Amino acid sequence: MSLTPARIRASILPVVLVAGLFGASGVAAAEDPAVDQAAATVAGSGVLAAQGDGHARLAGSYVLTGSLEGGKLEIRGIDRWSTIRVTGWIAKTRLADGTLIYRFGDRTGHYWIAGRSLVTTIESDAMRFSAAGHGRATLRGIGTYWVNGHGPFPWSDPGAESDF
């Protein structure tokens, strides 16, 4: 196997993303008044860890790793610098714009996602994840999250009329 410039760049990206976090500023966890009060929203740089039942949407540049018990994982904004590893899925769909959708049924899945300008949506009755990088996360459902080691903070139940 020869080392092409593309392989070298692909192997360096996750290291650069993680290394950049050590000099990152703190993340402020705050409710955004423009967003439905039933959603927990976190924005900034640092580390976010969460577990719960519901929907999680992460947008930005990050390394995301986690697991889910059944449900769906959707990844948008994938480019040649992105690294996506997903196991346990029962159906995988690639849309024309490059978006990947993984469906897990009632199976356990694991994922490792790294890249810039990504949008990842997780929908599951039981999810756990940790994200390191810069961006914005919206959590809807019931669960807890930690920001840069502070927490746990609760997610709240969005009710029947919330959209994601």
Show the domain range for 70.
5-154
The whole-number average pLDDT for the span 31-48 is: 65
162 part of a folded domain: no
164 is a domain residue? no
Provide the 10 A C-beta neighbour count for residue 85. 10
Measure the CA–CA gap between 141 and 89, rounded to whole angstroms.
22
> Is residue 89 in a domain?
yes
Mean pLDDT of 126-148: 94
Q: What is the pLDDT of residue 44?
A: 82
Please report whether residue 24 resides in a domain. Answer: yes
Alpha helices of the chain — where are they, by DSSP H?
A: 5-21
Confidence of residue 43 (pLDDT cuts 50, 70, 90): confident
Distance CA 145, CA 43 (A): 13
For residues 102-112, average pLDDT: 96
Q: Are 63 and 131 in contact (CB under 8 A)?
A: yes
Would you place residue 159 in the very low, low, confident or very high pLDDT band (cuts 50, 70, 90)?
very low
Residue 53 lies in a domain: yes
- pLDDT at position 127 over 60: yes
Number of folded domains that form the chain: 1
Instruction: Return the pLDDT at 39.
Output: 67
Q: Any residues with CB less than 8 A from the CB of 58 and at least 6 apart, and which?
A: 48, 64, 118, 119, 120, 121, 122, 131, 135, 136, 137
Choice between 10 and 75, residue whose per-residue pLDDT is larger:
75
| Position 157 pLDDT exceeds 70 | no
Q: What pLDDT score was predicted for residue 38?
A: 55
